[in-house]
Structure 1
Amino acid sequence: MAASRAPLTRDGLRVKIAVQRVRLAGAEYRVIRPARPLKNGALYQARGHYELYVDRADGRRVGTLWLLAARSPRSLVYLPMRAAPAVPGFDSEGERPLDLVLVPRAMQLRPSRWKRIREHLNAGNAARELRTASVPERDLPGLDAGRVVPGDPKEARGFVLRKHVHAETLLLTGGTAGFREGAKAIFAVTKDGPPAAATGFYQRVGCNYHTCRAIYDWAAPGSRDWEQLHVAFCPSWAR
């Protein structure tokens, strides 16, 4: 297949979104979601880790939504992914598809509330405001730079992503730095993935010969138990 080598342009940092508002238990929640469903973006909980698969186009949409989360301290960013077409070659035994929600730390959302919020969002009469969101290119860290966490504990806290899994959803709570670092990993995969996928050695899913990045690791100090959110490039699997 021909690999796209188009450079990242300003258009890559624009995304069509739907904005919804939900009132629940005396609080109002503003929720941002893609204006149209993702076809080539899927998230799985697999053997204790979290596997995110994207193609180039939907990967850029997902990455831009992560950057938007970094700029939206009063909004949830909701990526419905459970209904996406299954990734070819992915062994579904023991794995389950998940939705993804990016939660600004300042909102202090209790994960147990998410299921009811989603019910309101997906109700047949739920209002949606369609927009095109734009994120400045300067918000995207250098794609070739590794993740550098500051030595100062207070500054380092900004890179922390706290996770909860509730109601078939991975909820990630964090701040600007953490969401921008996640976006960097996703955009790097969409940049490096297409040329790699043009080779005869490329595997859509597997341990070797694919393009991937670790978005985040959760590990207890001195422990061998750890979990990872991992993003891998997969050529478009649905049209």
Structure 2
Amino acid sequence: MKLPLTIHQARLGAAEFKVIRPARPPERAVLSEGRWYLDAEVDQGAAQLIAGLWALAATSPRSLVHVPLRRDDPATGRPGLDLVLLHHSLQFAPSRWKELRAKLGAGRARTADLPGPTAFDPAVDHYPQERHHKENRDRFHTRVHTETLFLTGSATLFADTAWVFADVAHNGSGHVYAHPARRHYCVELDQGNGYFGSGSGLHVVYRDEWPDY
């Protein structure tokens, strides 16, 4: 999977940060705060792109992966959010994001060559029982600040969940075609299945009908 990117670097005080963005942000995707979940709605192309960026985040512990998504949800009118994927080890405070973002500039073009995350395999247990053990501290933590969702995790956690958007990209359109009366296709990650330690879970929905932006 070839992923066109822009790479940005900026300093905040003595620290230098690297920010990775898609060269072209997904056009048909929204992220917003719902009552129970952080709701992401995507078409096939957006799901494929975010799946690639998610996999890239797993191998980029020293970078922030920024996915510009901010637009109001056309179905609910809820305000939209951008998405930033980052590692616990980076110890980046979301309160500094607005200042960092203002310093990023145009960036430089780069193409990442990724193997691509695999879609959901029913033979693989993506919700293993050990994730529910109290000893398991490897969970996502979320914070919303300056109209941006910060999703903080580890390399293992990002790698183990890279299938989520890939599954929606692979199976969403086929489900809608085969079940026109039951068009809803989604994947969920939350505290109940052991992937989130704080904040709302993530509800990723395939959507094939979009307004013209």
TM-score of the two chains, using structure 1 as the length reference: 0.76
Cα drift, residue 131 of structure 1? 1.0
Distance 2:64 2:19 in 1: 5
CA contact (8 A) 2:119 2:170 kept: no
Q: Distance in 2 between matches of 1:212 and 1:152?
A: 22
Taking a change above 3 Å as real, the CA distance of residues 179 and 161 of structure 1, as seen in their structure-2 partners, is: same
1:26 Cα shift? 1.4
The whole-number CA distance in structure 2 between the counterparts of 1:166 and 1:149 is: 32
Say if 2:2 is the partner of 1:14. yes
Shift of 1:33: 0.5
Q: Give the AA of the match of 1:234.
A: R
Q: List 4+ stretches of structure 1 deviating above 4 A.
A: 139-142, 151-155
Partner of 2:11: 23
Say yes or no: does 1:101 pair with 2:101. no
**Which position in structure 2 is the counterpart of 1:163?**
142
Does residue 39 in structure 1 map to residue 10 in structure 2?
Answer: no
Give the gaps of 5 or more residues in structure 2.
none
Give the partner amino acid of 1:24. Answer: L
Aligned mates of 1:230, 1:152 — CA distance in 2? 19
Q: Is the 8 A contact 1:67 1:140 kept in 2?
A: no
The 1:20–1:154 alpha-carbon spacing in structure 2 relative to 1, beyond 3 Å, is: farther
Moved more, 179-188 or 165-174: 179-188
SS at match of 1:150: helix
Q: Which SS does the other structure have where 1:179 is aligned?
A: helix
Structure-2 change in CA distance of 1:185 and 1:117 (3 Å): same
Q: 1:193 pairs with 165, 168, 172, which one?
A: 172
Question: Which residue in the other structure is 2:111 paired with?
Answer: 132
Q: Distance in 2 between matches of 1:229 and 1:108?
A: 22
For residues 118-150 of structure 1, what are the alpha-carbon distances to aligned partners after superposition, in whole Å with 9 as ceiling and x for unaligned?
2222xxxx141111112234x647543332263
Equivalent residue letter for 1:49:
Y
- Return the offset for 1:99: 0.5
State the alpha-carbon separation in 2 of the partners of residues 226 and 164 from structure 1.
7
Give the Cα separation in 2 of the matches to 1:102 and 1:28: 17
User: Could you tell me whether the CA contact under 8 Å between 1:39 and 1:58 is conserved in 2?
Assistant: yes
Q: Could you say if the C-alpha distance between residues 119 and 149 of structure 1 is closer, same or farther in structure 2, counting changes exceeding 3 Å?
A: farther
Q: Distance in 2 between matches of 1:173 and 1:151?
A: 17
Shift of 1:25: 1.7
Q: SS of the residue aligned with 1:82?
A: coil
Specify the alignment match of 2:93 in structure 1: 110
Unaligned segments of structure 1, at least 5 residues = 1-12, 203-207
Which residue of 212, 223, 228 corresponds with 2:186? 212
The residue matched to 1:136 in structure 2 has which SS? coil
Distance 1:185 1:70, change over 3 A: same
Question: Percent identity among equivalent residues?
Answer: 33
- Whether the 8 Å contact between 2:141 and 2:199 is mirrored in structure 1 is no
Question: What residue identity is the alignment partner of 1:209?
Answer: R
C-alpha distance in structure 2 between counterparts of 1:198 and 1:128, whole Å:
40
In structure 2, what is the equivalent of residue 5 of structure 1? none
